[in-house]
Structure 1
Amino acid sequence: MNIHDRPFFAPTRRLALGLTGVLLALTVAGCASGSRKPQPTPLEPVAALVSARQVWTQAIGPVDPLLVPAVHGGAVALANAAGMVTVLEGETGRVRWRAEAGAPMGAGVGFDGRRVALVTRANDLVVLTERGVAWRQRLPSRTFTPPFVAGERVFVLGGDRSVAAFDAQSGARLWSQAPRGTEPLVLQQAGVIGAVGNTLVVGIGGRLVGLDPDDGRVRWEAAVGRSRGANEIERLVDLVGRVGRDGDVLCVRAFQSAVGCVDAASGRTLWAQPADGATGVQADAERVYAVEANGRVMALRRSDGARVWANERLLHRGVSAPLALGRSLAVGDAQGFVHLLSRADGSFLNRLPTDGSAIVEGPVLVGNTLVAVTRNGGVFAWRPE
């Protein structure tokens, strides 16, 4: 289960940094070490212990690294770098509808089954339906996190850590919460925004914050990561998507700082463990699954964060955020493979090829179909058997 809880409101990972609005094309790993990038670990042969039959493919055109595929019901919404939105049936790959945003995508997408929301590079929030653009609104700050669409509203988390809500039909601004503090650096990567019950949950700095969706009032705050280090880059701390969920417990990663779990019912931090990584996590009743910056895939005990197992056979391969499905854990890599690992011990169960370009954000599950999107715009679907 993910953070986007539908009963809510009942009535590349890009490691660049922004400094006072100016984007610095610096990778954190390169800045920290100054050393040559390690070579990807060669892949070992894998026996297909879990079969997965490819059932369809689609092509949507090259995509931006900030694309996050959005799943609702049996459909997945996508947008390419040029701003073309495509909604696909998970079962068959059939195109439900397409629409043009009219400008290149900067962050996206959000999807409630009817509407798709994205932010353009010109900083416009655009909401589309099968009829085309429904409305657009200029945002006051750069945005890197996909909008969240639920309860006839569209919620936006700004790169400056501001939060705003808009009416999904008209685009009217309902409320906004000003940014907190004056952080000199912000992470140019999708953050955390979603829902648990009737609470809007966002990541602000190293904290998970629960807001009243009607007015933006803060209900609770829970710290996961804390600023540390000798310079501004090392002190940067932001929560990153995706979020692992087990009931009311949300497990998240603080960029290059920690992995931790929070009780969203009470706003209490259950535990936080130091961890060096840049991608989101998955969780079930027993474990939290995470990928470290060097490509190490790990399972942590959900109760206290103690390590259960680690797989180091994908080091330096640009491994994506994980997806838990059945007895498998699916991760993508920068060479276009989707790897299926055992949730029990991390051993390889299968390897699925795509078009050779990087898997964007990580695989997603649409109904009973595993879907991965590549930087070249290939959409690949398998049905585990």
Structure 2
Amino acid sequence: MRNLLCLFLASLLVSGCAPLKKLGSAGDGSEKTGPAALVAFEQEVKITKLWSTNSLGEYRSINGGIRPVLAAGVIYAADSDGNVVAVDADTGKQIWKKSLDTPLAGGVGLGGNLLVVAGTDGDVFALEADTGEQRWSAWVTSEVLSSPAVNADVVVVQSHDGKLVGLHASNGENRWQYEIDSPILTLRGTSPPVLSDEMLIAGFANGKIVALAADSGSLLWENRLAIPQGRTELERLIDIDGRAVLVDEVIYASSYQGRIGAIAKASGRGIWYQDSSTVHDLAYGLGQVYSVQKDDEVRAIRGNSGQTVWSNDQLRLRKLNSPATIEGYLAVADGDGYLHLLSQTDGRFVARARVDGAGVTAPMIADGQKLYVQDNDGGLTAYQID
């Protein structure tokens, strides 16, 4: 019964969370349920396509569980069918491609020369970043719906059954395991763990953020980011599914139907909290934290105080992906394949471009004035912002 409920909620979440509001988890049911029409505005910035390649298949991952990464001038990306590619970030030329014989739902994790992806059956694959050759494979107890965290010593995978597993980076053997008591009902998604120095930071479906020693998995501290509210299990969902952001020893994290907060990395002490509901990654820029709320309102919060600076609801219910900061702008893409640039100062639209009609779900990569976008049809495109 629990699995059926989770799958039901997943279908709602992928469709933009509008049905959740209709069910009463937020709002009074009187709000419009259709996606907002695109508003006209004067373009202030030019978005130029530099290159595009179709090395991958369809993208069907939940909440951006598969994400491209950029390192040393190479983009590493994967699709839902088990294909993994390395592409030159300057030219779009394919360097190598590896086809794994399993559906993927989590990745790409990258550390040193090790690239890690994971599947819907709990399979974990480690590849050589230079060549795509498989170094080892391992198995965890449930599907992996987010990117593993990787460094030279350990690969950390969060599975959907509430477990964090540390694997030896050299051979994939089990090193340690940390487990929570999962709530009765959860959304189908998990937060990507984050490695910082010798500390691992992870968010869970019970609304808690924890810090573990990366080498041993021992608990350093925990912080209750979100507290369940309401009478029904639907109303009490407080999953942390988006990636936290670490800036100057402060962790910014957010949950579904809970709170967004700033947490001291060293101690786990809460600095400030504000009501929030999102399943997406957060972004940071110009001293502000950016989130895409569950109704696709884009919000900017002052990083040092939690004060709301601005919000933009003109992309409501357009199935936005996670925000990314680039120069002085905030980029989001939607389910119809439009790329939107907003001013980080006041949230106004400054540019728009069409990526692909199938839409964009994967988180985007920003590097200087370049933005790399993986669309749902398998395209990978580089844009320059001028």
Normalising by structure 2, report the TM-score.
0.89
Structure 1 351/158 Cα, relative in aligned 2: closer, same or farther at 3 Å?
same
d(CA) in 2 for partners of 1:381, 1:253: 29
The alignment partner of 1:125 has SS state of strand
Equivalent residue number for residue 41 of structure 1? 36
Equivalent residue number for residue 13 of structure 1? none
Cα shift readout 1:50-81 (whole Å, capped 9, x = no counterpart): 22321111111111223222233322221111
Equivalent residue number for residue 95 of structure 2? 96
Residue 356 of structure 1, CA deviation: 1.1
1:262-281 map, 5 Å? 262-281=263-282
Q: Which amino acid aligns with 2:47?
A: A
Cα shift readout 1:221-241 (whole Å, capped 9, x = no counterpart): 122111222111221222222
Equivalent residue number for residue 186 of structure 1? 186
Cα contact 1:244–1:250 (8 A) shared by 2:
yes
Cα contact 1:21–1:142 (8 A) shared by 2:
no
Residue 112 of structure 1, CA deviation: 2.2
Identity of aligned pairs, percent?
26
Residue 273 of structure 1, CA deviation: 0.7
d(CA) in 1 for partners of 2:357, 2:32: 20
d(CA) in 2 for partners of 1:134, 1:371: 27
The total of aligned residue pairs comes to 367
d(CA) in 2 for partners of 1:249, 1:289: 15
Given the alignment of the two structures, is residue 174 of structure 1 paired with residue 164 of structure 2, yes or no?
no
Counterpart pick for 1:52 among 44, 47, 52:
47
Equivalent residue number for residue 123 of structure 2? 124
Structure 1 273/147 Cα, relative in aligned 2: closer, same or farther at 3 Å?
same
Residue 326 of structure 1, CA deviation: 0.9
Cα shift readout 1:313-361 (whole Å, capped 9, x = no counterpart): 1111112211111110001111101100000000111112111122123
Cα contact 1:285–1:302 (8 A) shared by 2:
no
d(CA) in 2 for partners of 1:264, 1:223: 14
1:122-271 map, 5 Å? 122-129=121-128, 130-177=131-178, 179-204=179-204, 205-271=206-272
Cα contact 2:6–2:185 (8 A) shared by 1:
no
Equivalent residue number for residue 75 of structure 2? 76
d(CA) in 2 for partners of 1:37, 1:83: 38
* RMSD of Structure 2 on Structure 1 (CA): 2.1
Normalising by structure 1, report the TM-score.
0.89
Structure 2 alignment gaps of length 5 or more: 24-28
Task: Name whichever structure is richer in strand by fraction.
Answer: 1
d(CA) in 1 for partners of 2:361, 2:237: 23
d(CA) in 2 for partners of 1:131, 1:334: 31
d(CA) in 2 for partners of 1:133, 1:299: 41
Cα shift readout 1:272-312 (whole Å, capped 9, x = no counterpart): 11113322211236211111112211111112211111112
1:299-338 map, 5 Å? 299-338=300-339
Structure 1 alignment gaps of length 5 or more: 1-17
Q: Which amino acid aligns with 2:58?
A: P
